[in-house]
Structure 1
Amino acid sequence: MEELGEFLEAELLSNEKRKKILVMDDEDMVGEIACQMLDFLGFDAVHVFDGQAAVETFQVHKNNGEPFNAVIMDLTIPGGMGGKEAVTEILAVDATAKVFVSSGYSTDPAMVNYREFGFTGVIVKPFDLAAIQEILDKLV
């Protein structure tokens, strides 16, 4: 009987609600690696490929009472809505949203002056596990 109690306690702990992060990146491999890193850090992550999908996914989860704790957005999406455009729409849905811009172009004005564009912070590519953890620990 004691084992059953220990098992149930462990199950309750493992079923604690994990914080959710929305990852927007047009490259499948980059998005999947980011999601795996976030899972390793104890977050649930959802990957979408462009800004329009990010805005729609963000809205649906918010409406369903399962909002994202943060969003990581690629700065530019060839042929689609990138982070510069999508952050404005996400903040229109939730003005308190924590949205991070992500790019390998560290000199882009949106990376340097991220707050002016509505972003909470910057995550430079390639993703660094320790850097992501540090940023998200401060946030959520």
Structure 2
Amino acid sequence: MAYRVLLMDDEPAICEITGILLKKLGYDPTITMTGEETLNIYNQALLDGVPYDVIILDLTVPGGMGGREVIQQIREHDKEVKVLVSSGDLSDPAIISFTDYGFSGVLAKPYNKAALDQAIKSVLS
């Protein structure tokens, strides 16, 4: 059975490319573009008894709920789920001290297929 991955990113190109990469790597991806949509899908998966194995959250969503806000709500329900924070701003405190913000690991942008796979495997192991 493939690991289920929930990806939130506000950039359509990143969503499309990362979705393809995740499938090629053997994962079962769900793609969202807003924090609200991510939380709705995450909560529905919990209710359905098919939780996600890994969640990848874009740190910053202009004009919307980004990774910082989403992780806080997810951690209220699930302390164990593996959550990667994704950003191109490697100087952000949520990247430097990711565990302080509730994240399990970092996926630095831009990333390629190998970096994506490595980041997911590192939090699953």
TM-score with structure 2 setting the length: 0.95
Matched with 1:112 is: 96
1:38-83, Cα deviation, whole Å (9 max, x unpaired): 1110001011011111111111011101110000000010111000
Unpaired runs of at least 5, structure 2: none
2:46 is the counterpart of 1:62: yes
CA distance in structure 2 between the aligned counterparts of 1:65 and 1:74, rounded to whole angstroms? 25
2:120 is the counterpart of 1:136: yes
RMSD: 1.0
User: Identity, % of aligned pairs?
Assistant: 35
| Larger Rg over CA atoms | 1
Unpaired runs of at least 5, structure 1: 1-16
CA distance in structure 1 between the aligned counterparts of 2:121 and 2:81, rounded to whole angstroms? 16
Matched with 2:7 is: 23
Aligned 8 A contact 1:34 1:127 in 2: no
TM-score with structure 1 setting the length: 0.85
CA distance in structure 1 between the aligned counterparts of 2:100 and 2:122, rounded to whole angstroms? 20
SS state at 2:43 partner: helix
The structural deviation recorded for 1:135 is 2.0
Number of residue-to-residue matches in the alignment: 124
